[in-house]
Chain A
Amino acid sequence: MSTPGETAGETVDSAREMLPDNSFLIQYPHVSRVVRSLFLTAFVAFGIGAFMGVLQALHRTGVARLVDSADYYTLLTLHGVLLVIVFTIFFLAGVFAWANTRSLDRPPVSKRFTWFWVATMSVGTAMAGIAILAGLIPSTDISADVLFTFYAPLQAHPIFYIGLAVFIIGTWLAGIDWFRQYLAWRRENAGERIPLQSFMVLTTMLMWFIATMGVAVEVVVFLIPWSLGIMPAPNPLLTRTLFWFFGHPVVYFWLMPAYLLWYTVLPKIAGGRLFSDPLARVVFVLFLLLSTPVGIHHQYVDPGIAEGFKFIAMTNTMFLLLPSLLTAFTVVASIEHGARQRGGTGYFGWLKALPWRDPAFTGMALAGLMFAAGGFSGMINAGMNINYLVHNTIWVPGHFHLTVGTAVALTFMAASYWLVPRITGRKLYSRPIGLFQVVLWFIGMVFMSAAMHRGGLAGIPRRTAEPQYPQVTFETVAGSVSSLRLQLAFGGVLLFVSALLFLMNVGLTAMNNKPARNLDSALPPALSGPDQSPTVLDNLKLWALIAVVLVILAYSLPLYSIVQGAGLYPAGQEASPAVIAPLLEVIA
């Protein structure tokens, strides 16, 4: 899998000299370089991850089995980690670096610090990636076939956990960088409202600081010492719970940059303005407050957790629907405003006035539409008792391929068509290919995700190389299981073709010698501006404090009762695979 890279961009070519003085690239050449570097890593990860994805779609449906079924799980680990950790987070770091700089209109405080966190994230990624890939080489003892969730007592090589920890620290440093940039702005702009994009970056990073506490404790306190053989195996239920403490808010960490793009960039592309700045702030505050105290909804069917705790998580989860429902209103209203500015009329006639030829618009609009579908299947998952029907069936990957796999990934791809020319100064290689590519992603995902949801209702499990068992017959509501398999594989192939077209288009853009035109990075002000909202919305300390209190309320009792149950290091837990001789036993 080779991915067309971006040129380093150090040389000032003739194309760049033709850019207007107020373009982002001319004003912030250094930040542009940081963003290019982050995007490059994101796109390489996307290419490899997408290739793993099509291998799995063909393998589990039995259409073509190119690898051994035992190796399927190595590919699945790679698919999960590369796409939802590396692609999403490197890309959003690029978006945030761009958005924070653009909206504060000042560069980060220290260039060296910025490159330091980029390097930290990259080193962590490389370590975890090497550990996973080594699983394909039988002659090494190194492996990390533990999937994205790395549930103990399945064990990975220490380098995998250490890489994860280093990566998370890199993201913290990135957050600190953006806060320093904001504080420097604040010193020069006392009493001003935080610019909207910066507000979104800061609230999202506060949420991330809180959320990653769970996985940091899990990895640093329990899994690294255990994998090194210094400490015994931890309580599997405890580490699961710490994982999901992080594992649900991480989905909002992926989604918030997509929301940032929908709220700030999409209205501009549609020809209009954001409907309401205050409501956008309310939405991001709600995500900061409610993203973390819901993680137990991933553990509805876990033993060892009382029903009451699950019920609290369920209630919080349902209220977490609110900011997304509000977003649906604001985004559609902003797009409609844009369409009417462009001459659209009628109840639905305005839809025709939208810039459907623009891949950035069409991609984001289709992503938003699929997010609505993904949101509804998510409500089923959130329903504590209906969840029994679908828990850990392929319904669940069907759900999150609509959310992170389309709402987030397709928005990122569409935004790339808008953003990459702005950070490279080069003209988009092909708009028609871009349009075809985003529509193909939509069609491929409709095929694949619909088949997954329906397969899940029939009880077909997820995360399985061969979901074909002699003992089991799966009964579908409509159509046959074999037709669902074909549908899934077909959708997967379309998605892979779409991913290749995207990488090709972006790669050729990065090497395009034609200068980009009309590189206006200014975003129009909202119809209802921030001056109409109470200033308490900008009190980040207050919201962070409330968020922490909510997390303590939601998690202290469940964690206490889990530790009371089996203890921190219960007897009789053994690592699998047993590759590394535990140091304790060697000593004893």
Chain B
Amino acid sequence: MSRLSPAALLVVGAFMVPLFIELPVVLSFVGVDLPMPVSLGMGVVTFVLVLVWSEVSQSPDAADA
């Protein structure tokens, strides 16, 4: 039993794109140099974590099944 529908995952993933594109710019203001590929990579990892959280259910019923 998924927590998020495919549509919700798509929308959540879409909202993460601007965050991870702008992250290096925001960090540059505090003197941190984060390369863009690293930032995008962090975005992918975060999305995978969301995916795992969504798909791996904690409910005992599902675990039994």
Contacts and interface: CB of A to CB of B under 8 A. Distances in A.
Given A477-B28, A478-B24, A478-B28, A487 B11 contact: no
A454 interface: yes
A571 B33 CA distance: 55
Contacts of B36: 478-479, 483, 487
Interface string B1-38: 00001111011011001100110110110000111110
A410 B17 CA distance: 17
A540 interface: no
B28 A439 contact: no
Nearest to A483: B36
Contacts of A478: 24-25, 27-28, 33-34, 36
Given A454-B25, A478-B24, A357 B7 contact: yes
B28 A442 contact: no
Given A357-B5, A478-B28, A450 B10 contact: no
A436 to B, nearest CB: 7
Nearest to B6: A432
Interface residues of B, number: 21
Of residues B6, B14, B33, B35, which shows the largest number of chain A Cβ atoms within 10 Å of its Cβ?
Answer: B14
A435 B10 contact: yes
B9 to A, nearest CB: 10
B21 A356 contact: no
Interface in A443-479: 443, 446-447, 450, 454, 477-479
A435 B5 CA distance: 13
Contacts of A477: 25, 28
B35 to A, nearest CB: 7
A447 B18 CA distance: 8
Contacts of B35: 479
Interface string B39-61: 00000000000000000000000
A443 B43 CA distance: 13
Contacts of B11: 356, 362, 439
Contacts of A439: 10-11, 13-14
A313 interface: no
A373 to B, nearest CB: 8
Contacts of B8: 356
Nearest to B27: A478
Contacts of B17: 442-443, 446-447
Nearest to A351: B11
A450 B18 contact: yes
Interface in A330-376: 356-357, 362, 366
A446 B18 CA distance: 6
Contacts of B28: 477-478
A442 B17 CA distance: 9
B5 A443 contact: no
A449 B29 CA distance: 20
Contacts of B14: 366, 439, 442-443
A314 to B, nearest CB: 27
A446 B22 CA distance: 10
Contact of B24 (A357, A446, A479): A479
Given A357-B5, A487-B36, A436 B10 contact: yes
Nearest to A477: B28
B21 A450 contact: yes
A366 B18 CA distance: 12
A432 B50 CA distance: 21
A356 B7 contact: yes
A476 B31 CA distance: 14
A422 B37 CA distance: 44
A362 B5 CA distance: 14
A92 B55 CA distance: 42
Nearest to A487: B36
Contact of A447 (B5, B6, B7, B21): B21
A366 B17 CA distance: 13
A26 B35 CA distance: 58
Contacts of A443: 14, 17
Of residues A432, A477, A479, which shows the largest number of chain B Cβ atoms within 10 Å of its Cβ?
Answer: A479
B57 to A, nearest CB: 18
Nearest to B32: A478
Contact of A450 (B22, B27, B33): B22
B53 to A, nearest CB: 15
A432 B18 CA distance: 22
Contacts of A450: 18, 21-22
Nearest to B22: A450
Interface in A1-42: none
* Ranked 5 nearest A-B pairs via Cβ: A478-B28, A357-B7, A439-B14, A446-B18, A478-B24
17 contacts: A356-B8, A356-B11, A362-B7, A432-B7, A436-B10, A439-B13, A442-B14, A442-B17, A443-B17, A446-B18, A447-B21, A454-B25, A477-B28, A478-B25, A478-B27, A478-B33, A487-B36
Interface of A: 356-357, 362, 366, 432, 435-436, 439, 442-443, 446-447, 450, 454, 477-479, 483, 487
Given A356-B11, A479-B35, 20 more contacts: A356-B8, A357-B5, A357-B7, A362-B7, A362-B11, A432-B6, A432-B7, A436-B10, A439-B11, A442-B17, A443-B14, A446-B17, A447-B21, A450-B18, A450-B22, A477-B25, A478-B24, A478-B28, A478-B34, A487-B36
